[in-house]
Amino acid sequence: MRKVVLFIAMSLDGYIADGNGGVAWLNGHGNDNENIDTYTEFTKDIDTVLMGWNTSHQVVTELSPQEWVYNKFTTYVLLLERLKQEAGKDIWICGGANLVQQLVSKNMIDKYYISVIPTLLGNGVRLLGNIDREIKLRLCKTQTYNGITDLIYMRR
């Protein structure tokens, strides 16, 4: 069965967007030549992207209005159980927070790939809200580059 993978970045204090919904702060503390291309490595095992409406809208109106940046993937704006049963590679949960929080509360995410950005925002859109149950994870890998720490967990 396909895995459902959350691949997302957040500030050290747990936000995925600032108070205005912006993501311009998503960078490390040095310069770009210190970065590792985690995106290309991650997407080798992905053929489907699932996102909430707000994330989809932000991509087409703000982040990449001239071109759909996920054109090599089949993209859905919300549906999952049927997708897990279909043949294919893993499914990327691209955001937003509302979708992530619903999937976490239902324990439907198999793998968490979270990049922690060296920034404290203080407010904004939280990645995780209150969860009504304990969800145990197993740390599989960590890596750091340019002040960013990638944490990769599997559901236990």
Using the 8-state DSSP alphabet, how is residue 146 labeled? Answer: T
> Any idea which residue has 């702060």 for tokens?
25
The 10s digit of each residue's pLDDT in 18-52 is: 999 888 898 888 777 777 888 899 999 999 999 88
User: Quick one: how far is CA 24 from the chain centroid?
Assistant: 16
Q: Could you tell me the pLDDT band of residue 130, with boundaries at 50, 70 and 90?
A: confident
- State mean pLDDT over 54-77: 87
Query: How many angstroms separate the Cα of 38 from the Cα of each of 1, 45, 103, 142?
Result: 24, 12, 23, 12
User: Quick one: how far is CA 83 from the chain centroid?
Assistant: 18
Cβ atoms within 10 Å, residue 20:
9
Residues 6 or more apart whose CB falls under 8 angstroms from that of 137 comprise: 112, 153, 154, 155, 156
pLDDT of 96 higher than 90: no
> What's the predicted TM-score (pTM) here?
0.85
- State mean pLDDT over 116-140: 93
> Any idea which residue has 């997302």 for tokens?
8
pLDDT of 59 higher than 90: no
Give the separation between CA 7 and CA 3, rounded to whole angstroms: 12
Judged by DSSP in three states, 72 sits in coil
